[in-house]
Structure 1
Amino acid sequence: MFEEASEVFENMFKSSFPLTFIVFIPAVLILVSPLPAEAAHEFTVYRMQQYDLQGQPYGTRNAILNTEARTMEAEVLSRRCVIMRLADFSYDKYQKALRQSAGAVVITLPKNMSAVPQDIVQQFMELEPEMLATETIVPVYFAVEDDELMSIYTQTQTSSSSQGSLSAAEVLLHTATANGFQMVTSGAQSKAVSDWTITSLEGRLAGAGGEDLPTIVLVAHYDSFGVAPWLSYGADSNGSGVSMLLELARLFSKLYTYKRTHAGYNLLFFLSGGGKFNYQGTKRWLEENLDHTDSSLLQDNVAFVLCLDTLGNGDSLHLHVSKPPKEGTPQYTLLKELETVISSQFPDTKFSMVHKKINLADDVLAWEHERFGIRRLPAFTLSHLPSHRLAQRSSIMDVRPHVDVSKLSRNTKVVAEALARVIYNLTEKIIMFNPQQVQEEQLSAVVDWLTAQPRAAQLLDKDSSVVSTLEYHLTRYLKDVKRHYVKADKRDPEFVFYDQLKQTMNAYRVKPAIFDLLLAVCIASYLGLMYFTIQVRYCVPAHHQRVSSNTKLL
């Protein structure tokens, strides 16, 4: 059979070679040509923050991406999707891509963030506020690395870096033959989310001995923040503060159950929402309790407000105050009791008071206690951070390994013991809480649960499982648990959130546009050559044959 087929092809080539060439070669090209462009990889991307706060826009303003991929090694980045790895990321490179009018920026992150070297983590933490400080038109995305995405990056990097060392002809040939990747997002353009609700939770333990009892308020905001909402897990800030507040609620609920230990203080516990957006939940809660009601624990005798923020690490504790407490006041007593408990029971831990006045000219308040200070309520914030400017308070790098449960347990013991000394007016060095009474396993479980999902305020509506679960935990220990809602004013909104924060991106394997141009030139040349060959092979002999026939007739 094969011999017969070979004879047929041989006869075809002998009898009419140009015609066979025209038919056979295109058929071969069609058979061996690659399939049309197909998706090389589909992966999830997380967009940079986009929000307005007090009328000031922050983050990226765009969410649509449909452009060819490049890495920073390429000389031309204009209208290209620039892919950067976290290990190679720098603010100068980021700004270079923006200055060259890049079409988009995609920053890839390793799967295991806890394995990232500490110097890279610290560097990126410090860069996040700068990335968000100004409005950016270019869409900026983050993606978690996998094998296929890294393969795309490697191929794109090879293509981008080789162009700078080649001649013009080599660049043209390389551009025409190389494979590229077209990055396309599946989502639509971002738009403002109307009527978004921020939820806060309140619960209380009523004191014994009358109605006009002093009130101690314990506060922690539960939302997280970072350069990308869907990657903001907020382990230390403020998963540790929430975990401590719930543990304090459990400890004092037991004391308030028995008459012998039912103290003459009201305890008010408040989990605030929108903490990372200038403490919007606390602001509205104060307005409701101080301006719009006649019966509120905050309108009576408030001993002090203690805010818990970033308490899951470190070997020091700092009490941040806007106004130093005066001697003889409950807040001064708490300050002294904190010093006493730490020096007597945890001598390796350092304690200090940090005084910072409230700057009303700042767009964002430094600490949550300043919201209370503006309303002339005595308040302070306890944290292991010496300054509000430290980057770990608002970073996607604040993940679960950043919380040391043993240190969180120690700090919880310090706060519980100091509060008990104030509440029960202990003059002797009596230990109210043994270390075993603070359940380290419970603290760890709450932090694990909180860091299992992102808790950015844009992702937590009133029906969120995070809010419902926090409410359930409060109801286990406290009475009169209530929800408080915050919506932005429609005429002059304090905050505006936007959607399209999480999308699917497709990387399509494509040839560059110049490849189509060269292919068209080759096809035109081929057809021209075939036309010329046919003309020479068939038309010229026919002409000679007619001429010879006419000569014979003559």
Structure 2
Amino acid sequence: MKIVNYLVLLAVVLFSIISLSECNTFKAYRMLQVEKDGKLYGPQRYALSSPTIYYHENQLTSDDYTKKSVIIKEDQITDQIIKKIVEKQADAIIVLTLNGKETRDYKLQSFYESTQSSDLQIPVYFIEESQFSIDGGSDQDYRLVVANSGSANLISSPIGINYQGILRGHSENTNKFISQQIVIMASYDSFGLVPSQSTGRQQSSSSGAIALMELSRIFQKLYQNTQTVGEYNLIFVLTDASQVNYQGAKRWADSQSDVSLKSIDFVLYLDSLGSVSDQLYLQISRKPKEGQIIAIYDEFQEAAKSFSTDIEIVHKKINVSNAQVFWGHEQSARKLLHSMTLTSKKSPESIENSPIDFHKLKRNIKIVATVLLNHIYNQDVQKKNQIKIENLSDLLIDSLDVNEGFLESWYQLFSKCITMSPYSTVQDPSSPKSSIPSANNQQKQQQHKQQSSSTTSTNILHQSFETQFKQYLQETVVDQYPLSSSESGSNIKYYLPIESQMSFYRVKSFLFDLMHLLATVVYLVSLYALFEFSSFKNSIYSLFNSTKKGI
């Protein structure tokens, strides 16, 4: 019986301790930490345990923020405010972001650049505003905890991943050692000062890759038919590490043999094709001199006019003495290939933070498809002295039409996955799962079964790339390679974690603690009296008698 009593008493005590606070747990996204050319950028610490306080402008002149986690809304952020909070020796900065939206890097860029000289020790986290709410009481009645210890972990061997597939053409000239080839290339990675929120939601980081996927689907339909297969080989290349000097594009160019390079007619790099802008730009590195390449530029301008838009050709010469490049096509242009980038940006510095405009993306994919159709099929008929086929864009109907559902499926997948290199290859196991995009529901169900049964990749996005390439293209190659500091133009080291589990406790006031303690004592005494009633009664009776005798 006494054992039971002790267990009950222990349970009551534990319950009392646990009930002293209320706890919620949610994901918190950490600001980027890197080391660049020996200089540290971003917060160097990620563990925290401190009371909270909301940011108020009038408190910047006081010491209210010292040793506290300062909570600030994203629309209140400025570089100067963040710097002043740091100067007040805050224990952490917690930024409340708008639900489902990424933090705007331009609000933090100046502050982030300044951290390399200030040795920022306090953690900086970003959480969705919907997860964080204070119900009654003072904001200082709460405590935020990230229960990690030690220093951040260096990613010792960061990697990039390229994907390549081919649609083989058919040439009647059997004496040819290798067919002429056209390369369509795009990158899928992004950059953000909050890596876990650096997804493909912005059109600048995903629209080129989505366009490449759709073009591979359209031309697979043509090339699988012996009556419509073209003479050209079409090579589709999806590259990583565009944000570090287009290392993925360089990796592909460097891996090509001399024979393969000589067979390439031109390289087309797709970039930022989902902008709301009507204007497109064809970025080139060499002024056109040969008739064939001039004809390609003319094809782009004619195709754009047929869709009521315009393409401006922008020439920027490559500085061969400088390893840095500004457009994806410049890496293959250094191999003396005819290369160009089709983009909605006039200059590489242009900021494109908008979501994808699917109407414009569909139009731009049709422009590219029309150029490829003209170049592939009208080249053939000219060689055979046949009449040029007009309005090849009219072929883009039914199954050859751009599938908006397919585009949107890919966009939804991109928007849920980390695409920043190298974090996309070391993503946490808790990353969101999603079904692999497909052109119809039957294919989607079949691919979902394949995904659930046989995938081993740590990132659903990479699984989807490989599945897409294997479904629509031939000779798929998945190329993993080390990200080189020398190739990026600077020595960059990346650190984890990029997200943590944050606990949010409501801490009771001292008066509440005192009242709770008294209530607990009374409760325990009552419980003891209940289980030991006879002994308790005798004790009280004895006490009463002794008191009476003393009187």
Same fold? TM cut 0.5: yes
Deviation at 1:411, TM superposition (A): 0.8
Deviation at 1:97, TM superposition (A): 2.0
1:289-314 Cα offsets, whole Å, 9 max, x none, are 3xxxx4763x3232221111111132
* Corresponding position of 1:170: none
- Equivalent in 398, 418, 422 of residue 454 of structure 1: 418
* Corresponding position of 1:339: 301
* Corresponding position of 2:452: none
Q: Secondary structure at the match of 1:422?
A: helix
User: Separation in 2 of the partners of 1:392 and 1:216?
Assistant: 28
| Counterpart code for 1:387 | S
1:66 matches 2:49: yes
Q: What count of residue pairs does the alignment treat as equivalent?
A: 439
* Corresponding position of 2:110: 130
* Corresponding position of 1:88: 76
Deviation at 1:364, TM superposition (A): 6.0
* Corresponding position of 1:215: 181
Deviation at 1:471, TM superposition (A): 1.0
1:274 matches 2:241: yes
* Corresponding position of 1:150: 133
| Counterpart code for 2:476 | V
* Corresponding position of 1:173: none
* Corresponding position of 1:500: 497
User: Separation in 2 of the partners of 1:459 and 1:88?
Assistant: 30
- Equivalent in 208, 222, 228 of residue 261 of structure 1: 228
Alignment of 1:108-507 (within 5 A): 108-113=96-101, 124-134=104-114, 135=116, 137=120, 138-146=122-130, 149-151=132-134, 155-156=138-139, 179-188=140-149, 189-209=151-171, 210-235=176-201, 236-289=203-256, 294=257, 297=260, 299-343=261-305, 345-347=306-308, 349-358=309-318, 365-392=325-352, 402-425=355-378, 427=388, 429-432=390-393, 433-436=395-398, 437-457=401-421, 458-461=423-426, 463-488=458-483, 495-507=492-504
Contact 2:207 2:271 (8 Å CA) reproduced:
yes
Contact 1:325 1:332 (8 Å CA) reproduced:
no
Q: 1:105 to 1:304 in 2, by over 3 A?
A: same
User: Separation in 1 of the partners of 2:335 and 2:35?
Assistant: 25
Q: 1:464 to 1:35 in 2, by over 3 A?
A: closer
Contact 1:83 1:153 (8 Å CA) reproduced:
no
Q: 1:359 to 1:144 in 2, by over 3 A?
A: farther
User: Separation in 1 of the partners of 2:233 and 2:370?
Assistant: 17
Q: 1:386 to 1:491 in 2, by over 3 A?
A: closer
User: Separation in 1 of the partners of 2:144 and 2:27?
Assistant: 12
Structure 2 residue runs of 5 or longer lacking an equivalent are 1-12, 380-387, 427-456, 515-551
Identity of aligned residues (%): 25
Deviation at 1:388, TM superposition (A): 2.0
Deviation at 1:52, TM superposition (A): 4.0
1:386-410 Cα offsets, whole Å, 9 max, x none, are 33223336xxxx6xxx112222111
TM-score normalised to structure 2 length: 0.71
User: Separation in 1 of the partners of 2:324 and 2:39?
Assistant: 11
Q: Secondary structure at the match of 2:224?
A: coil
* Corresponding position of 2:433: none
User: Separation in 2 of the partners of 1:125 and 1:335?
Assistant: 35
* Corresponding position of 2:523: none
Contact 1:128 1:226 (8 Å CA) reproduced:
no
User: Separation in 1 of the partners of 2:252 and 2:135?
Assistant: 50
Contact 1:107 1:142 (8 Å CA) reproduced:
yes
Deviation at 1:241, TM superposition (A): 1.3
| Counterpart code for 1:496 | K
User: Separation in 2 of the partners of 1:202 and 1:68?
Assistant: 51
| Counterpart code for 1:483 | V
Q: Secondary structure at the match of 2:392?
A: coil
User: Separation in 1 of the partners of 2:20 and 2:322?
Assistant: 52
1:159-218 Cα offsets, whole Å, 9 max, x none, are xxxxxxxxxxxxxxxxxxxx4333221234311022233211111122332334332111
Q: Secondary structure at the match of 2:26?
A: strand
Q: 1:133 to 1:280 in 2, by over 3 A?
A: farther
1:242-265 Cα offsets, whole Å, 9 max, x none, are 111011111222222334433232
Contact 1:285 1:484 (8 Å CA) reproduced:
no
Q: 1:53 to 1:308 in 2, by over 3 A?
A: farther
* Corresponding position of 2:24: 41
Q: Which moved further from structure 2: 33-42 or 50-59? A: 33-42
Q: 1:471 to 1:296 in 2, by over 3 A?
A: farther
Q: Secondary structure at the match of 1:269?
A: strand
Q: Which moved further from structure 2: 213-222 or 310-319? A: 310-319
Q: Secondary structure at the match of 1:424?
A: helix
User: Separation in 1 of the partners of 2:49 and 2:321?
Assistant: 41
| Counterpart code for 1:199 | I
Q: 1:35 to 1:203 in 2, by over 3 A?
A: closer
Q: 1:335 to 1:53 in 2, by over 3 A?
A: farther
1:465-492 Cα offsets, whole Å, 9 max, x none, are 2112111111112111001111245999
Q: 1:154 to 1:380 in 2, by over 3 A?
A: farther
| Counterpart code for 1:270 | V
Q: Which moved further from structure 2: 408-417 or 219-228? A: 219-228
Q: Secondary structure at the match of 2:416?
A: coil
User: Separation in 1 of the partners of 2:101 and 2:165?
Assistant: 36
User: Separation in 2 of the partners of 1:215 and 1:56?
Assistant: 44
User: Separation in 1 of the partners of 2:137 and 2:280?
Assistant: 46
Deviation at 1:82, TM superposition (A): 1.9
Structure 1 residue runs of 5 or longer lacking an equivalent are 1-29, 115-120, 157-178, 520-554
Q: Secondary structure at the match of 1:407?
A: helix
CA RMSD between the two structures = 3.3
Q: 1:360 to 1:403 in 2, by over 3 A?
A: same
| Counterpart code for 2:425 | L
| Counterpart code for 1:72 | Y
